[in-house]
Structure 1
Amino acid sequence: MTIQTLNLTPPLYEYLLSVSLKEASILKEIREKSSTHPLGKMQIAPEQAQFISLLIKLLGVKKILEIGVFLGYSSTAMALALPEDGQLIACENNPEFAEIARQHWQKASLEDKIILRLDSALDTLEALKEEGYNEEFDLIFIDADKSNYYNYYEKSLDLLRKGGLMIIDNVLWHGRVANPEINDNRTKRMREFNRRLFEDERIELSLLPIGDGLTLVRKI
């Protein structure tokens, strides 16, 4: 087996962004603001947001479910990529994060496209099922607490339409999943999550080394 690796040193990463990233001014503003937040590293990378936005347009996505909003960068990027009649339901359990995200949505004139569900994501997913959202979503994006990733995945799969796309962030977990000497609870859970998805015959998948790792899941 020939293994090819690309070391994204800071100069190479900056070059990549210089010839690829076309970021709307509102997104740049949110990203720069988020970088000063104590938990700013939780924000997805701009190249990830642009990639997901491109998929939304390519696939003609109209209905999105986001699990984990943080300060609203990813939801803003996805909502901007939606058509005029598109809708995004955003799940967040932190009122402080939700309020900051809401301000960003308002500034981007996206209030009509984004519906906030302020509750635990597991409770929201159950509520959506009870409200008749089964197989309603074209795309589901998961980027929340890692300990519940598999629970989010299982409950979300019922809400995703056949042929729909689920995108899951942080699946490489800063490289820890590949280091056998690292065995903290969250790392072990992420390893188990990746393995269970790989063995799941209900889906097709591809894990991409973009940002901290994105898994793309197509529901069969």
Structure 2
Amino acid sequence: MNRLIARSIFLSTKYVKPVPSYAFKHRYATFDVNDKVGNPNGRLRVEESHYCDNISSPFKEPYGNILKALNKETEKKFDNPHMMVCPVQAKFLYQLVGILKPKNVLEIGGFTGYSAIAMGAALSPDSKLLSLELEPKHIAVANRFIEEANLQDKVSVKEGPAGDSITEIANESPKKQFDLIFLDADKGGYIDYYEMILSHNLLSDHGVIVADNVLFYGEVHKVVDGYDGYDGVSHASKNVKRTAKKVDNFNQHVFKDSRVEVVVLPAFDGLSFIRLLSTLNLMSSVDVYNNANEALKTLSNLWQAMLQLISAVSDASASSLTVEPDLVKHQKSRKEYEELKTSLNATIAWLEKNKLTDLDKNKESKELSISLQQHAELQEESSVVSDKLKKMLNQSYALQFQMEMLFTSSQDISLN
């Protein structure tokens, strides 16, 4: 949750007075609202959270008791304990890690480590979880309880702004990828974090991004243009409404992104599950540039092959003594030419597809534009040479016919 707006959901614009943060229990986390404030018509169904928690399998020890102790200390030390996920959501994250069996997990927005410990408890022996957190005071609590849970070899916390930390991870380990990324930081930064994840290729091919609070107290759908199911009465503060708009911007951004597919679930405070459609669309400008050069090499090889064929046909035309072997050579070369042409067409098709993708997503590099221009010019020249080759080959076929007639005539003369 956004720390700056954490309390504002509890305020009514009309008749409810501010409530001190200590009056709220962490048990419901983002459900921690009542019917009067921010929960019209029981939108968040608080009592069902009680029920679901009670009938969900408890954490194995020592994790269950450690999480309870962390819960109490966070409530005691900080005025925003509701920034932790609720117990049943922690159990859900634990189950998700158990199902996906990720090798590397990234948490963006760790707070005091409640969700990190919940996920860490399900990690396999060789798996790692990295949690990003801004506040040193939160990290101190998180590290102490991580050690108490004996998870220090699997779970670590990195201090600093999330954006800077993501960049550092990408720079220090360019090939590092995460199979599960839990996004639960400041809502206004969701789009930036999301784009950094994809641009740095931090999400593995079969990885999942789980974004929390994407319905934000049930206010997000009310800020969507054209929404007509709302009666106009809201007890949420202006700050919450502004944040709800930012969350909707993120939801729309992901929904319109052709690189991924997403499903948004009305569970907890709203969860988005995001996965890549294809790693092909994540190729960087450098990758496409390199493939452009490969295409140019293929074109160059084709051009050289055609020039050799033209030279061979010319030589054959000048010498009747070697014309038959040369024509056999021409036929073989022509087959090689057709194979090269097929390969070239496939390369060009791939290049054009990726060129469009990269231009749309990354505004293409200058080097790639130059290479593509060279590719177009070379393709045009090769087409001209190809036409000349066809004419020469036709001439060689005519020459072959004439030579066959000549040989036949010579044989007839010899017999006579």
SS of aligned partner of 2:72: helix
Aligned to 1:71: 112
Q: Which amino acid aligns with 2:204?
A: R
Aligned to 2:267: 210
SS of aligned partner of 2:219: helix
Q: Which amino acid aligns with 1:159?
A: L
Scaled by the length of structure 2, the TM-score of the pair is 0.49
Question: In the alignment, does 2:156 pair up with 1:156?
Answer: no
Question: In the alignment, does 2:227 pair up with 1:186?
Answer: no
Structure 1, unaligned runs of 5 or more: none
Aligned length: 216
Within 5 A, what are the aligned runs for 1:81-160? 81-134=122-175, 136-157=177-198, 158-160=201-203
Aligned to 2:53: 17
1: CA distance between counterparts of 2:149 and 2:272?
28
How far off is 1:167 after superposition?
Answer: 0.7
Structure 2, unaligned runs of 5 or more: 1-40, 224-231, 278-416
Q: 1:7 to 1:144 in 2, by over 3 A?
A: closer
Aligned to 2:374: none
Question: In the alignment, does 2:38 pair up with 1:35?
Answer: no
Scaled by the length of structure 1, the TM-score of the pair is 0.90
Identity fraction in percent? 34
User: Which segments of structure 1 move beyond 6 Å, counting only runs of 4 or more?
Assistant: none
Is the 1:21–1:47 contact (alpha carbons within 8 Å) kept by the matching residues of 2?
A: no
How far off is 1:31 after superposition?
Answer: 2.3
Q: Which amino acid aligns with 2:75?
A: S
User: Relative CO higher for 1 or 2, CA cutoff 8 Å, sep ≥ 6?
Assistant: 1
Q: 1:130 to 1:205 in 2, by over 3 A?
A: same
Aligned to 2:342: none
1: CA distance between counterparts of 2:272 and 2:169?
23
1: CA distance between counterparts of 2:248 and 2:180?
24
SS of aligned partner of 2:169: helix
Q: 1:26 to 1:177 in 2, by over 3 A?
A: same
How far off is 1:18 after superposition?
Answer: 1.3
1: CA distance between counterparts of 2:75 and 2:174?
35
Q: Which amino acid aligns with 1:211?
A: F
Structure 1 range deviating more: 176-185 or 98-107: 176-185
1: CA distance between counterparts of 2:47 and 2:170?
46
SS of aligned partner of 2:261: strand
Query: By percentage of residues, which structure has more helix?
Result: 2
Query: By percentage of residues, which structure has more strand?
Result: 1
How far off is 1:9 after superposition?
Answer: 4.1
Deviations along 1:43-94, one digit per CA (max 9) or x if unpaired, are 1112212112111111111210111110100011111110111111111111
SS of aligned partner of 2:121: helix
RMSD: 2.0
Q: 1:138 to 1:9 in 2, by over 3 A?
A: closer
1: CA distance between counterparts of 2:269 and 2:133?
21
Is the 1:139–1:166 contact (alpha carbons within 8 Å) kept by the matching residues of 2?
A: yes
Aligned to 2:215: 172
